Copies of this chain bind each other. A is one copy, B any other.
Amino acid sequence: MFRRVADVFEALAAPTRRAILDELTDRDGQSLFELCTRLTMKHGLAMSRQAISQHLEVLEAAGLVTTRREGRCKLHHLDTAPLRSIFERWPVEGLKGTRR
């Protein structure tokens, strides 16, 4: 699975995926079920397990989420490094690390 720049933007396009990133920011290393319950509770999202799973695939393909097997659980970790490509592409005033 390749990691194109476009993948990052497309991954961020869906509100549910942004909520997942929020959730992982709040508490890193959650399992699929953990994410499902917390998304339902805190974000009011009522979605199937598969829906979340598919979103996680997209996030992983974009490099925004990395996974780690732990027994029968799959733990998800946040990685915001790909976000840097956004600032590197367009200059944002008052933000260090941008160029061009």
Contact = CB atoms under 8 A, between A and B. Distances in A.
Contacts of A94: 84, 97
Report copies per complex: 2
Give the secondary structure class of A's interface.
Answer: helix
A90 interface: yes
Interface residues of A, number: 27
Interface string A59-100: 000000000000000000010110110110111111111001
B96 A97 contact: yes
A95 B97 contact: yes
A65 B91 CA distance: 14
A56 B56 CA distance: 31
Contacts of A38: none
A35 interface: no
Interface of A: 6, 9-10, 12-13, 15, 18, 21-22, 25, 78, 80-81, 83-84, 86-87, 89-97, 100
